[in-house]
Every structure is written in C-alpha cells, then in structure tokens.
Amino acid sequence: MAPSASVTFTSVPTSITKGSTGTFDTTSTASLANATLYWAINNGTTTNSNFSAVTGSYTATGSAGSFSIVTLTDGIYQADLTFTVSVYQDSGYTVLRATSASVNLASPTPPGGQTVTIGGGITIGGSITFN
C-alpha cells in the first residue's frame, strides 16, 4: 500500500499587519513532489474583503512549497482578526491535505500613533470629551 499523500506547514506567520503579505511554507510527501497544490483562506473573524485573493495555487519544488497571501488595509483600527489557510490536492478544493494554525490579522497603528482606551464602558446618553 502506498503511503498517504500529505502536506505539512513548516512556517506560518503568527501575525500579519493589514496591508502586508504573509508567506506560508509547506513540505509534502513524495507522492506530491513537484505537484500543483491549492490554498484557500478559512475566515475566522476576517472576511474575504480583508484579502486580495482568498484562493490560489502554488507548485512544490520537490517536496518544498511556498505561497504568499496579500492582505488589504481598510482604514479600520480594531482588535486582531483571525483566519487559517487550508491546502488541497485538487483545484476543486475537495481533497484537504493540511490546515494551518490560526493567524492574526492586525490593524496598523492609527495615524499619529494615538490609541484611545476607554475603561469602565460608556453610559447610554453619556458623553466623552477628547482634548
């Protein structure tokens, strides 16, 4: 019996800042050496609009492969969003071979480097004064 085809992520960015690119490295078993593999983003708290593309392909060189995901900036400064990436053996995205660890999509630092933290919440009907 031939060994099962598999893909393993060897490098996954822990965090990518919006507007930046993240590179994902993989290794595969001999049966997938030099094969074209297909990746797809799995939105956690991200949406498709956070990325320039949500699917793509790459060709392994021997058993090693690499692909990059380009994120988009949206001018929204918020808590980190999360996503994972899956690698498939087929262009129909049905033969799953690996799923990455969770990746944070971080907002860039707001213009001027200012961050506003409000403690204790806001009372409805209340007001906030910024100096």
Determine the 3-state secondary structure of 125 from DSSP: coil
Q: How confident is the model at residue 4 (pLDDT cuts 50, 70, 90)?
A: confident
pLDDT at 126: 57
pLDDT for 57 equals 98
Which distant-in-sequence residues (6+ apart) come within 8 Å of 6 by Cβ? 28, 29, 32, 97, 98
- Evaluated on CA atoms 36, 23, 10, 44, the torsion sign reads negative
pTM above 0.95, yes or no: no
Q: What is the average pLDDT score of the chain? A: 89
Q: What average pLDDT does this structure show over 71-88?
A: 93
How do the residues of the chain divide into helix, strand and coil, expressed in percent and rounded to 5?
5, 40, 50
The amino acid that residue 83 corresponds to is: F
What top-level class would CATH report for the domain 7-113?
Answer: mainly beta
| Comparison of pLDDT for 47 and 128, the residue scoring more | 47
